[in-house]
Amino acid sequence: MSIRIGVIGTGWIGEQHVRRLTELVSGTTVVAVSDIDPELAASVASQVGARVVDSAEKLVADPEVEAVVITSWGPVHAEQVLACIEAGKPVFCEKPLTTDAADGRRIMEAEQAFGRRLVQVGFMRRYDAGYRQMKRVLDSDAIGEPLMAHCVHRNPTVRESYTTEMAAKDTAVHEVDALRWLLGEEFTSVQTVLPRKTPKRFEHLQDPQIFLFETASGARVDVEVFVNCQYGYDIQCEIVGEDGAVRLPDPAAPLVRHAGQASFPVLQEFGDRFTEAFDVELQEWADRVAAGREPTGPNSWDGYAATVVTDAAVQSLHTGAPVPIDLGERPDFYA
C-alpha cells in the first residue's frame, strides 16, 4: 500500500521532491499539490497525475492526503506545519522549519500536546554517505573527543535576491545542523567575521563570511560561507579530536590524467552533490510513515535550534561581537 502524499510548494525543490516521491522513493504516491502560483502547481501536477488543490490549508485537510511534504518559502512553513499537527498528519518540512524562534516553540508545544512526534525537517546532510561515515568514526571514539571542526560551504554563484543574512540562515544553517548532529552537543556562542568582499558579484552582498562557533564542551567550529566562489559547489568538513582527525570525503569522481595534469571535476550544483542524500532522506521518512512510527530524522527541536543559532549569527553580523546562544532546556519529548 502506497502512502498518499500532498506537496505544498512546487518551486525548484518542490518539483524535484514530487518527482523523487513518484519515481525513486518506494511506497509513496503524490496525490495532490498546491502552490500560490496555480500554473506552476498545474504543470508539476500534470507530470505525475496529481490533483491541484487551491490552498495549503485545503491540501492539509484533504481526506485523501495521509502525509504532507512542505517545500514552500521559509516564512510560511510555521503555519503550514502547525496545520499538519492539528490534522494529526506526518509532515516533512524543508529547512528552515521556521524563520522565527517563537514559531519553533509553538510547533514544539503543539506537537507535545498532540502526544507524538509528527515533524521531520529537511536537513539532508544527515543522510549523505560521507557525513554518515564521519558520524560512525566519531561515535566509535577513534579520534577521541573532538576539539575543533573546520567547515567550508562554497556555491559557484547565487541569485541577486540572495541577501547577506542568508549566508547564515539559508547556507551555514546546513553546517549548524550537521555539526550539532556530528558532535552531539549544542552551540553556545557565535561570532561572525567579515573578510574583504569579493568584487565578483552583487554590491549589496557581504560575501564571504566566517562563523566561529563554540560548543557546550568548549570545542570550536569555524564555517566559511562563500557563495560566489566561481569555481563550483564545494563542501568540506574536518573534525579534529584529541587522538586524530576525520575528514568528509569528496564525492567519488574519476581522476583524469591529461596534458601533464591529473585532475577530477568539481560539482557545480548542490542538487547534484546531495541527490542521493535527498533520496535516502525521503525514503527513510516514508518508511517510518508507512510503518505508523515517529520519524527518526531531524525533529522540531533541531529545526528550532538551527533557527536560534543562525539568528545569533545574524546578530553578530551586525555588531561584530560574539553573541551567546541560549536554547533553553530541550524537552525530553525530543531526546
Residue 170 interacts with ligand ISE (CB under 6 A): yes or no? yes
* Nearest distance in Å: CB 137, ligand NAD: 24
264-281: burial string, b at 16+ Cβ within 10 Å, e else: eebbeebeebbbebbebb
Q: Which residues bind ligand NAD (CB under 6 A)?
A: 8-14, 34-37, 40, 56, 71-74, 76, 94-95, 122, 124, 170, 270
Q: How far is the C-alpha of 304 from the C-alpha of 91, rounded, in Å?
A: 16
For ligand ISE, the closer of residues 155 and 307 by Cβ is 155
Q: Which does 74 bind (CB under 5 to 8 A by kind): ligand NAD, ligand ISE, none?
A: ligand NAD
The window from 60-68, 73-81, 170-178, 292-300 that contacts ligand ISE (CB under 6 A) reads 170-178
Judge contact between 248 and 213, C-beta under 8 A. Answer: no
Q: Smallest Cα–Cα separation from 318: which of 208, 165, 126?
A: 165
Determine if 174 is a binding residue for ligand ISE (CB under 6 A). yes
User: Cβ(80)–Cβ(71) under 8 Å?
Assistant: no
Pattern 262-281, binding to ligand ISE, x per CB under 6 A? --------x-----------
Identify which of residues 97 and 182 has a Cβ nearer to ligand NAD in the complex: 97
Site string for ligand ISE, 211-230 (x = CB under 6 A): ----------------x---
- Which partner, ligand NAD, ligand ISE, none, binds residue 56 by CB below 5 to 8 Å per kind? ligand NAD
Which residues make Cβ contacts (< 8 Å) with residue 282, sequence separation at least 6? 17, 20, 21, 25, 28, 69, 92
x/- track of binding to ligand ISE for residues 27-66 (CB under 6 A): ----------------------------------------
Reduced to 3 states, what is the DSSP secondary structure of residue 209?
A: strand
Q: Which does 11 bind (CB under 5 to 8 A by kind): ligand NAD, ligand ISE, none?
A: ligand NAD
CB of 192 within 8 A of CB of 317?
Answer: yes
Q: Which does 171 bind (CB under 5 to 8 A by kind): ligand ISE, ligand NAD, none?
A: ligand ISE
Rounded to 5°, the CA angle 250-255-257 comes to: 150
Residue pair 51/43 in contact (Cβ under 8 Å)? The answer is no
User: Which residues are CB-contacts of 229 (< 8 A; sequence separation ≥ 6)?
Assistant: 154, 155, 156, 208
Q: What is the smallest separation between the CB atom of 21 and ligand NAD, expressed in angstroms?
A: 15
What's the min distance (Å) between Cβ of 217 and ligand NAD?
A: 28
Distance between CA atoms of residues 155 and 170, nearest Å: 12
Whether the CB-CB separation of 92 and 30 falls below 8 Å is answered with: no
CA triplet 192, 304, 83: central angle to 5 degrees?
A: 140
Q: Judged by CB under 6 A, which stretch of 40-48, 53-61, 142-150, 169-177 contacts ligand ISE?
A: 169-177
Q: Which residues on neighbouring strands pair with residue 70, listed in sequence order?
A: 8, 93
Cβ 112 to ligand NAD, closest distance in Å? 24
Residue nearest to ligand NAD (CB): 11
Task: Indicate the residue among 170 and 302 with the shorter CB distance to ligand ISE.
Answer: 170
Fill in the DSSP letter of residue 75: G
The single residue listed with the C-alpha cell 517563537 is: 102
* Contacting residues toward ligand ISE, per CB under 6 A: 155, 170-171, 174, 227, 270
